[in-house]
Amino acid sequence: EIVMTQSPATLSVSPGERATLSCRASQSVSSNLAWYQQKPGQAPRLLIYGASTRATGIPARFSGSGSGTEFTLTISSLQSEDFAVYYCQQYNNWPPREWTFGQGTKVEIK
């Protein structure tokens, strides 16, 4: 199983500042990585797939980068609606499917 490790667990950021979230894979997943945002009481929402492609309707302040084992999600200027938990997910190992998520990074207001 590919283990996904996110850091930090919690990130305290002021509105308008940049946030940088990291995700590391225990082995290479190429660019087969997605990022999701989850707000309290809501289902996750797809932000990024293919490590760097924004999903439909996702604002340009969200960007993804990386390949292999090291990935980054950057939120260029945090808005109030961006405070949430962010998860990375690898979808490299298949067949059969063995999709795994990171444990999440909570972005909170500083």
Q: What residue ranges bind another protein (CB under 8 A)?
A: 1, 32, 34, 36, 43-46, 49, 55, 87, 89, 91, 94-104
Nearer to another protein, 36 or 83 (CB): 36
To another protein, the closest distance from the beta carbon of 56 in angstroms equals 8
Nearer to another protein, 13 or 46 (CB): 46
Inter-residue contact 31 to 51 (CB < 8 Å) = yes
To another protein, the closest distance from the beta carbon of 48 in angstroms equals 9
Q: Which are the contacts of 96, defined by CB distance < 8 A and separation ≥ 6?
A: none
Q: What tokens does 14 get?
A: 């002021």
Nearer to another protein, 17 or 98 (CB): 98
Burial class (CB in 10 A: 0-12, 13-18, 19+), 61: middle
